[in-house]
Amino acid sequence: MASSLFSLHFLLLLFLYQPLFSMANLHKSKNMILRSNHRSHLINTIPFNENSSTVYFEVTKPIKLPNTKPCSYHVLHHDFGFTYGRPPVVVNYTPPACYSQKFTKIVLEWKATCKGTQFDRIFGVWLSGVELLRGCTAEPTPKGIIWSVDKDITRYNSLLLKNQTQTLAVYLGNIVDQTYTGVYHVNLTFHFYPVECNVMINNDENKISLNNLASNYYSKADLILPISQDRPLNDGLWFEVRNSNETKSKQFQIPENVYRAVLEVYISFHENDEFWYGNFQNDYIAANNLSDTPGNGPFREIVIYLDGEVVGAVWPFTVIYTGGINPSFWTPITGISSFNLPSYDIEITPFLGNMLDGKPHTLGFSVTNALNVWFIDANLHLWLDTRKAKTEGGLVMFSNKAANVYEESDFKGLNGTFLTSSKRLISSTGWIKSSYGNMTTHSIQEFRYNNSLQVAKDGDFQVVDQMIHFNDRVYTKMPFHHVHVEESFKTFHLNFYADFTVQGEGSFIFFSNVTLGFNENKYKHGGLDFFISFLRNTQKAQSVIEVKNYSTTKRLRGTKQVYEYHGSDICYSRNISSSNNLIEYDEGENCVMILKSIKVNKKLKVSTQFLIVSSFDHPSNKSSLPWSLEAIEMATSQTISCISKHSGWNQQVTEKALLMMIMMVMGQGRDGVVVESNEQRRKKKKKNGGSRWCEGEEDDQQ
C-alpha cells in the first residue's frame, strides 16, 4: 500500500471522520469501497480463537425476574443474508396461549450467530409499528461469533397482550457477496413471567382510588401509538433525517379520555454523522479545503415538534458501534449501549389539552446541524381514564429557550484547538381534569454541552473530549396534595485520543484510546411507591499498533469497564478487562443494597408528602418560594427518626437513603418541588389538629 495512505487524510477518514470501520448502515456503495481499502490494517491485527466461536457481550445489569417459570414464545427465526434495501422480515404475532395470566415481567431475547467477514449492521424490531428494540450487530470472525440481547419490554404490556393478530417486523440491512460472506442467523423469543403467588396486582382501572392514583403513574401505558413509517417500504420503519433543514413527521389521533402522555424516542446516527462528536467546524474545513470531511461542528440535538411547535429535545449518548473507530476495541466486550441502544422519554402531558379534540395531530423530528443520516422514530405511551369518556386540559405555561451554540476556534493550517458549548431549557406546565380530579404536570428538560477538539502534527494527533448533561424532571400534583415525582440526571462523557506517526515507507505506529461514560441518577415517588437508583458505567479502551514494511510487528489492545448500579430494585457491580480478545479478569465487587423500596403501610406513613409541596401553587413561578435550609434540615431529621423506628434500618443507612433522595429532589433550584416552610408546617399542623410527622405513632398507641 502506498505511503500516501498514511497521510492526514488517512487518519481523518480512517479513524474518526468517515465511518470506515462501521457499516451500521450502508446506503452508498462508494462508502463500502472506501472503507474496505483501509480497514484490513486493523482487522488483521485482531487475534481470533481458531477452535470455537467467540461470545460477544455488553456489560449491563441483569433484569430482575420473578421466581416463576416463564411462558416463552419463539417469535421469529431468520437468516439475514442480502437484505439491504429490501422490505423488513414480517411475521404474524398473536399473544401466547398463556396471555390471560397476569405478568410482572416480559423479556425480549435476541440471539444471533454469524461466521465469515462482515461489517456491523443496525437492526430494529417493531410490533404494529411500535419499536421494541434497536441494536447493532457484532462483527464476525472466520470461526464465528455469538451474541445475545435481553431487554425488559414490560412497558409494552398492553401491546404485547392485545388479543388480536398483529404484525411483527424486523429489519437488518445486510450485504453478502464474495468479499462480505457473513450471514446473521437470528432467533427472537419473548418470555412472559407470571405474577408470583404472594404478589397482588390490581389491573382493574375502575378501582383506582385517589390514594393510589399517584402510584398508578408507575403502571404501563394503556395504549401505545407508533410514530414511525408505515409499511410497505424497503428499509426499517424509522424516519431518515439527512440534513439540518429536514423535518420528518407523522399524523396521529389519540382517544379523548387520555390523562397522561409520554413520548419514547429511538435514535441512531450513521454515515457522515456516525462520529458527529468529532466533526470539524465549517470554517476550518473551508480554510484547509477538506471538502470530503464531515463538518457542521460537533453539536447535535434532536428536536421534537407537536403540530409544528417544540415540545421537547434529546441530546443523545455517543454510542460507538461494534465496528466504530477501532473494531479491535469491541471484542469481546462491546461498547456501552451498542447492542441495546437507549431510548429517551419526553413527558408531553402538559400539552394534552391541545390533543383531546378528537382531531389528527402531528409529531415531527429534526436534528440540529445534521448530516446524512439519522434514524428516528417514537412510541406514544398513553394512559386512559376508563371511568370517563372525555378528559379535558390546558397548557398553563411553556418556556423554550433554544440552544445557543457557542463556537471558538484557534487554528493555523491543519493544527488548532476548537471549543463548542451550548445549553438549553424546556419547561411546560399543564392541567388535566379527569374522573380522579384535577392533575397538574410540570415538565422540565435541562441540557448542558461542552466539546473540545485538538489537532496537531498536521492532523496526525487528535483529541476529542465531550460532556453532555441531560436532566429530566416531572412533577405532577394529584388531587388532595398527592405528588408524583420522576427525575433523571444523566451525564454522557466521551474522550478520544489518537496519535499516528509515519516511520518510513509502509511503516507506522498508531496509539489510540477511547473513554466512554454513561452515568444516571433516577428518582421516582408517587403514592405508595418510592424508587431511587444510581448508575456509574465507565469504559476505557486502548490500542497500540505498529507496522513495519507493511507487516504488523506489534498489536496491543485492551478494554476495561467498571459498571456500578445501586437501586431500590437490585444492586449490581462488575469490573472486567479484556486484552487481545481474551478476558483478563471478570470480578463482581462488594455490592451492598443501600435502599429498599418503601412500601408505606398503616404503621409507616412516611413519604415525601411531609418534605415537598408543589410550586404549582405559584403559577407565575416568579415569587420567592417558601423553603429554607432550616426547613430542609428539620424535615430531614424528623423523617430519618421516623423511618429508623419502623423500618429496622440503622441510622447511617436511613440518613444516606433519605439525604440522597432529598438532594435529588431539591438540588435543581426552585423549578418544581420545594420543602415546606416552617410557617406552612405550623398552619398544616394547626389545621389537622396537631398531626404528627410520624403518623405510625398514633397507630402504635392505639
Q: pLDDT for 636-674, tens place per residue? A: 555 556 555 554 555 555 555 555 555 444 433 333 333
Residue type, 240: E
Contacts 24+ apart (CB under 8 A), 1-6: 1/506, 1/550, 3/502, 3/504, 3/505, 3/506, 5/37, 5/38, 6/500, 6/502, 6/508
As a whole number of angstroms, the distance between CA 470 and CA 23 comes to 28
Q: In this predicted structure, what is the pLDDT of residue 27? A: 31
Smallest Cα–Cα separation from 1: which of 32, 47, 36, 31?
A: 36
Q: In this predicted structure, what is the pLDDT of residue 613? A: 32
CB 192 within 8 A of CB 70: yes
User: What pTM, to 2 d.p., does this model score?
Assistant: 0.82
Q: In this predicted structure, what is the pLDDT of residue 177? A: 94
As a whole number of angstroms, the distance between CA 247 and CA 237 comes to 16
Q: In this predicted structure, what is the pLDDT of residue 53? A: 83
As a whole number of angstroms, the distance between CA 436 and CA 209 comes to 8
CB 112 within 8 A of CB 177: no
Q: Is residue 332 reached through a cis peptide bond, with omega within 30 degrees of 0 on the bond before it?
A: yes
| Residue that the C-alpha cell 436511613 belongs to | 654
Those residues of the chain that have pLDDT short of 50 are 1-23, 25-48, 202-211, 594-632, 647, 663-682, 684-685, 688-702
**Rg of the Cα atoms in the chain:** 27
Q: In this predicted structure, what is the pLDDT of residue 272? A: 96
Phi and psi dihedrals of 2, rounded to 5? Answer: -60, 150
Q: In this predicted structure, what is the pLDDT of residue 22? A: 41
Beta strands in 570-675 (DSSP E): 571-579, 582-587, 613-614, 673-674
What torsion do the CA atoms of 43, 48, 53, 57 make, to the nearest 10 degrees? -70
Smallest Cα–Cα separation from 385: which of 361, 359, 349, 351?
A: 349
630-646 pLDDT per residue, tens: 444 555 555 556 555 55
Q: In this predicted structure, what is the pLDDT of residue 651? A: 56
For residues 658-672, one letter each, b for 16 or more C-beta atoms within 10 angstroms of the residue's C-beta and e for the rest, the string is: bebbbebbbebeebb
Q: In this predicted structure, what is the pLDDT of residue 46? A: 41
Secondary structure class of 677 (helix, strand, coil): coil
| Residue that the C-alpha cell 455488553 belongs to | 58
Q: What residues have CB less than 8 Å from 386, skipping those under 6 apart?
A: 205, 206, 222, 257
Secondary structure class of 12 (helix, strand, coil): helix
Q: Is residue 232 reached through a cis peptide bond, with omega within 30 degrees of 0 on the bond before it?
A: yes
Q: In this predicted structure, what is the pLDDT of residue 401? A: 87
Secondary structure class of 9 (helix, strand, coil): helix
CB 404 within 8 A of CB 242: no
Could you tell me the three cell numbers for 77? 427465526
CB 321 within 8 A of CB 338: yes
Residue type, 500: F
